């Protein structure tokens, strides 16, 4: 049986504010090594909360979480930061590349923090630039890149330290459909070739159709789950069907792209 890379058992997250809000309610979720999973649900259903808990940025109010066998609650802030840096890669909708640095310098940033030797950095850049088609743009700065090139660089930066788990929050949200496809195909290729586990929050059923499994949540609880066992187009249709059952804000479907 494949190794479990993420395990959530009866996880509840309550935000304490003026008004107390239960964002997740006794949620169970597991991800096995090598899975490519989408998390979908209406606005406010708890997707980002779930991703923040898996990424150990936030802790649950009740319940148990283990990521790569580690329970984040048992680590102090320093060890948690180190754990994230070594084990996780992050890709966000807003592509947060450092404007002062070239693509190449942005790519190696996580390695600089870990004081990796220069020859090893060069080896990893060469391998990644090939895989991500970044060779032509390594010396450019972020403001000289298209949206797709910038997001491919951000994916590269998330991958350069060879993490076991990639966490992506709407990675195609700001991209045109061609660039979105390029990024999704890239994520899919990395998932298949390196066996990297990927968990991606998305509103976009086309993006979700690249995954092997889609978890739907509603009001912080499990709503449904779909596994891809046919063509991507059929899977896309099945995802749309569940989304229509799920309801929520009609704007959530405004970004639907046709495969």
Ligand X SMILES: Nc1ncnc2c1ncn2[C@@H]1O[C@H](COP(=O)(O)OP(=O)(O)OP(=O)(O)O)[C@@H](O)[C@H]1O
| Site residues for ligand X per CB under 6 A | 15, 17, 21, 23, 41, 43-49
The residue assigned the tokens 């840096």 is 85
Least CB distance from residue 82 to ligand X, whole Å? Answer: 25
Least CB distance from residue 49 to ligand X, whole Å? Answer: 3
Nearer to ligand X, 108 or 166 (CB): 166
Looking only at the bridges linking them, the beta strands covering 197-201 and 21-32 are: unpaired
Nearer to ligand X, 91 or 103 (CB): 91
Least CB distance from residue 101 to ligand X, whole Å? Answer: 29
Q: What SS3 state is found at 181?
A: helix
Exposure of 197 by Cβ count < 10 A (0-12 exposed, 13-18 middle, 19+ buried)?
Answer: buried
Least CB distance from residue 258 to ligand X, whole Å? Answer: 22
Least CB distance from residue 31 to ligand X, whole Å? Answer: 18
The residue assigned the tokens 């895989």 is 131
- Cα–Cα dist 37/163, whole Å: 16
Nearer to ligand X, 48 or 146 (CB): 48
- Cα–Cα dist 177/172, whole Å: 9
- Cα–Cα dist 86/243, whole Å: 35
Buried b (16+ CB within 10 A) or exposed e, 26-55: ebebebeebbbbbbbbbeebbbebbbbbbb
Nearer to ligand X, 142 or 220 (CB): 220
Nearer to ligand X, 95 or 125 (CB): 95
Least CB distance from residue 24 to ligand X, whole Å? Answer: 8
Buried b (16+ CB within 10 A) or exposed e, 66-84: bbbeeebeeeeeeebeebb
Nearer to ligand X, 133 or 251 (CB): 251
- Going across the sheet that includes 21-32, the strands are 21-32, 4-15, 62-67
């Amino acid at each position: 049986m494949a190794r479990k890379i993420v395990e959530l058992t009866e996880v509840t997250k309550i935000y304490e504010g003026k008004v107390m809000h239960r964002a997740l309610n006794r949620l169970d979720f597991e991800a096995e090594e090598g899975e490519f999973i989408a998390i979908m649900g209406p606005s406010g259903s708890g997707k980002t909360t779930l991703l923040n808990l898996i990424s150990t940025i936030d802790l649950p109010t009740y319940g148990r979480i283990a990521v790569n066998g580690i329970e984040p609650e048992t680590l102090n802030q320093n060890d948690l930061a180190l754990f994230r840096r070594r084990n996780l890669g992050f890709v966000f909708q807003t592509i947060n590349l450092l404007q002062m640095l070239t693509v190449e310098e942005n790519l190696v940033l996580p390695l600089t923090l870990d004081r990796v030797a220069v020859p090893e950095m060069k080896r990893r850049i060469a391998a990644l630039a090939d895989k991500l088609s970044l060779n032509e743009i390594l010396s450019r700065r972020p403001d000289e890149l298209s949206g797709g090139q910038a997001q491919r660089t951000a994916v590269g930066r998330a991958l350069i330290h060879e993490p076991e788990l990639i966490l992506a929050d709407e990675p195609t949200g700001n991209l045109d459909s061609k660039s979105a496809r390029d990024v999704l195909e890239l994520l899919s290729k990395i998932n298949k070739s390196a066996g990297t586990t990927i968990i991606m929050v998305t509103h976009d059923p086309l993006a979700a159709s690249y995954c092997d499994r889609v978890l739907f949540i509603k009001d912080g609880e499990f709503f449904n789950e779909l596994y891809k066992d046919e063509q991507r187009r059929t899977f896309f249709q099945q995802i749309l069907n569940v989304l229509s059952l799920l309801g929520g804000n009609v704007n959530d479907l405004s970004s639907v792209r046709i495969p």
